[in-house]
Structure 1
Amino acid sequence: MTKNFLKDYVLITIGILFVAIAVEYLYAPNNLAAGGVTGLAIVINHYVPFASTGILVLVMNLILFVIAFIFIGGNFGAKTIYASFGLSLIMWIIEKFFNPQAITKDLIIAAIFGTFLSAIGMAIVFNTNASTGGTDIIAKILNKFFHVDIGKSLSSVDFIVTLLAAITFGLNAGLYALLSVILNGIAIDRVIEGFNTSKQVTIISRKNKDIGQFIMNELGRGCTFLRGVGGYTGKDTFIIYTVVGRTEFIKLREYIKGIDSKAFITVGEAHEVLGEGFKEIGNM
């Protein structure tokens, strides 16, 4: 059992805990059915109050996984199965032992902070190359049998759930649920970008060899030397190209400032980096 394997499952557990808290303390008590299987469970719970939201999510995920194995194969992976049923279990534990109550009755605050917590949790799960099942399975079934794009399928399922929420809880709650769905998709993308963001750095300096050695030996990162010609001086020069983490860039900047105050540095954001020293391409 590798270190990365354990790390992924710890991160998934943290992620689904965030999602469960958002559902149990912000969404469900305020009847905000913000899409997906959890949103559908909130709607069904209104009509079948003796069945808790956590149990309903578990039952629906079991049914969906069975359908998926029969009709589209079992290409979901152990991490997705763990995340899916782990979320149901955590929700059940919260409902059974902690008697969850709404943190706030203000729908706009519940929608914003519920989306914030849920997006962080989902982003953590997605970043381990897993998902919480549910909606993804429905989307893949629609894609296979009705040839609807996965993205459109996901949006369609969430829209149907929020429509059911509007019918069940009223237009006001339905619109807030739709707002949560829209914000959630945007927020997840932004959080994932934040997890994976690195600094893409190019450096022109008379101390290029020293800087290259610092990058490789002190920061443990690779770098590439590109041949260039100064436009003003006409002299041959080397341009150093490297990608480093945010804290590593601070160290690199301070080092360069200390040995060559006239160095020229450009810095850009790299939202995802694949390869040695970063996320392995084979794990994608």
Structure 2
Amino acid sequence: MTRLFDVFEGIRLKGILIILFGTLLFGFGIIHFNLQNGLAHGGFTGITLLFYYLFAIEPSLSNLLLNIPLFIIGYKLLGRVMLIYSIIGTIALSASLRLFELYPVTQLPLQDDMILVSIFAGVFTGAGLGLIFRAGGTTGGADILARLANKYTGMSLGRFMFTFDAFVISVSLIHLNTTMAMYTLVTVFVTSRVIDFIIEGASAAKSTMIISDKTEEISDEVIKRMSRGSTVLTGRGSFTRDNRDIMYCVVNRNELVQLKSIIDEIDPYAFVSINDVKEVSGEGFTFDQSQRHMTPAQ
């Protein structure tokens, strides 16, 4: 019994629920937009759709048959927690596909507007995969192949995924015409952008580098008005050779205007550099408000 608990150590119910919801979104998108309108897809999902178009094999079945041997081959590369989440994701995806195969929510007559089909297919599949990835799982397939390729050939994960998607879509030309293949590329592009937004966008922020003679005053006002901390670094100007304080501060997007207002109010001549931050964690971002204890230094 103790060993059984050890196997599932680190597995969280919240993560499982997110994966299950993600597979429902993904399955809905594949069945109601890709399959109903004759679109292909990248990755192993694209192979399952191709099998359906050519041999009438249900995607829910071919998804399981294709992934089982890959889990056997690549289980050591995933790690225990990710392996369990991925197995859950793969089984749940097949169940979601089967659910929507048997009980379609709606028939959407969108064949005359394939741009709309392509976009919504990408939104649903991207949102589903993004939630699955964010929870620490995968849907198996190309992700495992990418890790194997990275280990034994040194090919990057992103390069392999792009190459594999391009290969699957190219093979899908057996069934698709060129126009449908181009719509499929639109779907794959939207999918990738939505995945990035789900994984990174929710935690996106702005980092600022502020060089000013009044760094301490700016820092105090940022703490007072925004409850945001900062780090003051010491640098030296290459032209003047003077030592200067450099204030580094990370804020949410919606706080950037307030930060710039504070800077302009205290030192309108300050040099300010602003950059995108794809992910941020820690006090003020991933802690609850009640856990924040930012106060000015005494």
> TM bucket by the smaller chain?
0.7 to 0.9
Equivalent residue number for residue 275 of structure 2: 269
Matches within 5 A, 1:205-284: 208-209=215-216, 211-216=218-223, 219-227=226-234, 238-253=245-260, 260=266, 262=268, 264=270, 266=272, 268-273=274-279, 276-277=282-283
Deviation at 1:5, TM superposition (A): 4.5
In structure 2, which of residues 103, 127, 139 is the aligned counterpart of residue 132 of structure 1? 139
Larger mean CA deviation between 34-43 and 235-244 belongs to 235-244
Equivalent residue number for residue 96 of structure 2: 90
The percent identity for this pair of structures is: 26
Give the TM-score, by structure 1 length: 0.74
Contact 2:222-2:262 at 8 Å conserved across structures: no
Deviation at 1:149, TM superposition (A): 4.5
Equivalent residue number for residue 55 of structure 1: 61
Structure 2: runs of 5 or more not aligned: 1-7, 288-298
Larger mean CA deviation between 105-114 and 219-228 belongs to 219-228
In structure 1, which of residues 174, 197, 221 is the aligned counterpart of residue 204 of structure 2? 197
Change (3 A) 1:5 1:210: farther
2:172 pairs with 1:165: yes
Residues 205-239 of structure 1: per-residue CA shift (max 9 Å, x gap) = 676545434544664543112357899x9998744
Equivalent residue number for residue 20 of structure 1: 27
SS at match of 1:241: strand
2:187 pairs with 1:180: yes
Instruction: Give distance in 2, aligned partners of 1:73 and 1:236.
Output: 49
Residues 228-251 of structure 1: per-residue CA shift (max 9 Å, x gap) = 7899x9998744321111234345
Change (3 A) 1:248 1:29: same
Deviation at 1:31, TM superposition (A): 2.0
Instruction: Give distance in 2, aligned partners of 1:79 and 1:263.
Output: 52
Change (3 A) 1:27 1:210: same
Deviation at 1:191, TM superposition (A): 5.5
Change (3 A) 1:84 1:219: farther
SS at match of 1:30: coil
Equivalent residue number for residue 125 of structure 2: 118
Contact 2:23-2:93 at 8 Å conserved across structures: yes
Aligned length: 274
Instruction: Give distance in 1, aligned partners of 2:96 and 2:273.
Output: 42
Larger mean CA deviation between 173-182 and 247-256 belongs to 247-256
In structure 1, which of residues 147, 154, 171 is the aligned counterpart of residue 161 of structure 2? 154
Contact 2:60-2:97 at 8 Å conserved across structures: yes
Deviation at 1:256, TM superposition (A): 5.7
Instruction: Give distance in 2, aligned partners of 1:6 and 1:265.
Output: 47
Deviation at 1:24, TM superposition (A): 1.5
Contact 1:19-1:121 at 8 Å conserved across structures: yes
Larger mean CA deviation between 236-245 and 211-220 belongs to 211-220
